[in-house]
Structure 1
Amino acid sequence: MKLKFNQLFGAFALSLILFACNDSDPEQPLGAYEQGILIMNEGNFGTNDGEVYHLDPSTETLTPTIFEAENFRPFAGLLEDMVPANDNLYLVANTGKVEIVDAGTFKSVGAITGDLDQPRSLAVVGSKLFISDYGPYDASYATPDSYVAVVDGLNGGVVSKKIEVSNKPEDLFAYGKYVFVAGSEEGKVEIIDAEKEEVIKTLEVDGHPAQFFEDNGTLWLYSTGSDEVYFQSFHLDNLTKATTNALPVANATGRIAFGNDHVFYLITSTGWPDYEDGVSRVSVLGPELDIDWITGSGFYGIGFDQVRNELYLSNSNGFQGNGSVTVYNEEGTEIRTFEVGRGPSGFLFY
């Protein structure tokens, strides 16, 4: 999961402030799920039991399986990403579908269930949906036919076109009529013209692109390498690469949480056979702040509550039953731990 959720918090909070200041509009109450924290549980491969939990952090009330509760059917997929846009929330499953729910009620408003292979993320431009997809595996388990799928309709529908991109596209970022694509395997950022529905520019970047985020009007890309991570910025006026900041963080997994004051939290893992995991606390402007801020094993997802200044770190528990979430303060002190669903991998903070 790309964990793009934190980057959306600032825009969401700003929209609430602007709305509150407009006395000419009638007040619209928030829906039950537009307050608090949504926890994305990826689910287990084979059983496809991905789901979303809701947490009210003020009361510590946890509501499980809200998709099934509101729609009277299981989600039935491996949940890869959650993307809020307009009044919808797009639940991207890498098992070949996108479920679309009302952000406030979690009631289904549509879906895309055909002609997708392994969707990874989604972006909205106008009335169109753009969905990054690994494409099918070949005999060697490579993905030479990766693409970005186009769907005309905010509430879903059929795939009208597949735009060929580099192998294993991950995160997407919409800017004006353009869609930036993070090509994770080949170290590329491809830029799609949403009107023409074609790639108009390809930029070579460092590392393996994982996540876009915007900071004070600047578009950044977080990428990983074996011994370093990269924060690369772009000129949006002429669609070119601007700067690169490299930090000596080894074994980064690509999972990142966006904190306050340009501070970021990165999950690292040595992988098999040691499985020594950690959280590095770094600054986008460099140098690193604390490489081994938290250490442990089984770390799977990460998010930062920018209002309460709390870090949420999930543990998959080896996919042996349900996972858990541990909450830390800014000093790295554990506040509480609670059980969630299978494979918790991301958070959306309202």
Structure 2
Amino acid sequence: MKFRLLQFSKAFALIFILFACTENDPEIPLGEFDSGILIMNEGSFGSNDGEVYHLNSTTDELKANIFEEANARPFAGLLQDMVLENDRLYLVANTGKVEVVNPGDFTSLGSVTADLDQPRSLTVNSGKLFISDYGPYDASYATPESYIAVVNNTLGGEVSTKIAVSRKPEDLISYGKYVLVAGSEEGKVEVIDAEKSELIETIEVEGSPSRFFEADGKIYLFSPNGDELILYSFHLDNFTLATTTHYPISNATGKFAIDENGVMYILTSSGWPDYQDGIALLDIFGSAIDPTWYEGSGFYGIGYDPVLDEIYVTNSNGFQGNGTVTVLDEDGVEKRSFEVGRGPSGFMFR
């Protein structure tokens, strides 16, 4: 999962509600899923049984398969990402579709179900959807025809055009009328003019750029590079590199969570044949760094709860049945665990 989720703290949301409303503005009641924790379960290859669970943070009630419950049909795909933009929640399946739902009750608002191959994530800009897609595999299982699919309606519909980009695009992020694309296989950041739906700039980087994140008013790029992790920031007035910082964190995956102070919790994995997994800690604004902050095996997703300062880490359990979630405190002490769906890979804290 490229699980690109800008996590907004509940405290900030409460302050916004209290001070943004006036006597003349009636409050819109929150839906059942407008608070709590959404848990993304990728599903298993071949079964296409990806789904979303909801955890009530107050009662600890866990609801399974909330998409199917709301729409009387299964999600029927491998869930790659969840993106919340403009009061709409986009469920991206790398089996070739995007479902658009009301985030409060998960009822369907629309979809993109045709002319996609292996979508990874999306962003909304200029009234359009921009969907990163690996494109089809060729005979050698390479992806030479990767693209960004453009849909001229934020509720879905037909793909209007495909913008060719470097192989295996992952995360996207909007800035003004522009969309930045993380090209993971060729080490590129590609910039699209969203109004024109045209590629206008390419920035060369090292490593395997996977995700963007925002901190201290800047956009950063997370790029694992074997024995090190590289973080980039950008001059957004002319789309050039501003800073390049190398950290001695080996085997970083593309999955991480970040707290409100810039402390990152990064999933690491040695891969085959050892499969030694862990969580590295990195303070991007300070000096703290711990490449082996927490260790184990089978880790598949991670998230950070900004209200309780807890770290949620998932275990796929080898896709042999359902996965589990373990909750850690800021010292890495296990507090509780519970069973979720197949291949849990990320979270959205609301």
Q: TM-score, normalised by structure 1?
A: 0.97
Shift of 1:15: 5.4
CA offsets per residue over residues 85-139 of structure 1, 9 Å max, x none?
1121000000000011001110001000000000000000131000000000000
Partner Cα separation in structure 1 for residue 279 and residue 216 of structure 2 = 25
User: C-alpha offsets along residues 27-62 of structure 1, whole Å, 9 cap, x if unaligned?
Assistant: 112111110000000000000000000001222110
1:16/1:154 CA distance change after superposition, 3 Å: farther
Deviation at 1:253, TM superposition (A): 1.2
Question: Cα distance, 1:84 vs. partner?
Answer: 0.5
Q: Percent identity?
A: 61
Partner of 1:9 in structure 2?
8
| Contact 2:37–2:55, Cα closer than 8 Å, also in 1 | yes
2:268–2:279 contact (8 Å) kept in structure 1? yes
Q: Which amino acid aligns with 1:26?
A: P
Residues 3 and 257, structure 1, Cα contact 8 Å, conserved in 2: no
Give the secondary-structure state (helix, strand or coil) at the position aligned to 2:210: strand
Aligned alpha-carbon RMSD (Å): 1.2
- Cα deviation 1:186-228 (Å, max 9, x = unaligned): 0100000001111100001121111101112101011101100
- Matching residue of 2:208: 208
The answer (yes or no) to whether the contact 2:11–2:307 under 8 Å persists in 1 is no
Contact (CA 8 Å) 2:92, 2:99: kept in 1 or not? yes
> What is the SS of the residue equivalent to 1:9?
coil
Residue in structure 2 matched with residue 166 of structure 1 by the alignment: 166
Q: Structure 1, unaligned stretches of length 5 or more?
A: none
User: What letter is aligned with 1:62?
Assistant: L
Which amino acid letter does the alignment assign opposite residue 101 of structure 1?
V
Structure 1 residues 42-51 or 272-281, which shifts more? 272-281
- Could you say which residue in structure 1 is the equivalent of 2:314? 314
Compared CA separation, residues 8 and 126, structure 1 to 2 (3 A): farther
Give the drift of 1:19.
3.3
CA distance in 2, matches of 1:115, 1:103: 25
Find the aligned partners of 1:33 and 1:201 in 2 and give their Cα distance. 39
CA distance in 1: counterparts of 2:264 and 2:180, whole angstroms: 22
Alpha carbons 1:316, 1:324 under 8 Å: kept: yes
**Runs of 4+ with >6 A deviation:** none
**Residue of structure 1 in register with 2:248 after alignment:** 248
Aligned pairs, number = 348
Residues 182-197 of structure 1: matches in 2 within 5 Å?
A: 182-197=182-197
Using the size of structure 2 for normalisation, the TM-score is 0.97
**Offset, 1:14:** 4.3
2:285 aligns with 285
Look up the match of 1:230. Answer: 230
Aligned residue identity for 1:150: V
Aligned twin of 2:298: 298
What SS does structure 2 have at the residue aligned with 1:144? coil
Distance 1:287 1:99 in 2: 41
Q: Which runs of 5+ in 2 are unaligned?
A: none
Give the stretch that moved more between structures: 128-137 or 261-270. Answer: 261-270
Partner deviation per Cα, 1:215-256 (whole Å, 9 max, x = no partner): 121010111011001111011222221001110111111111
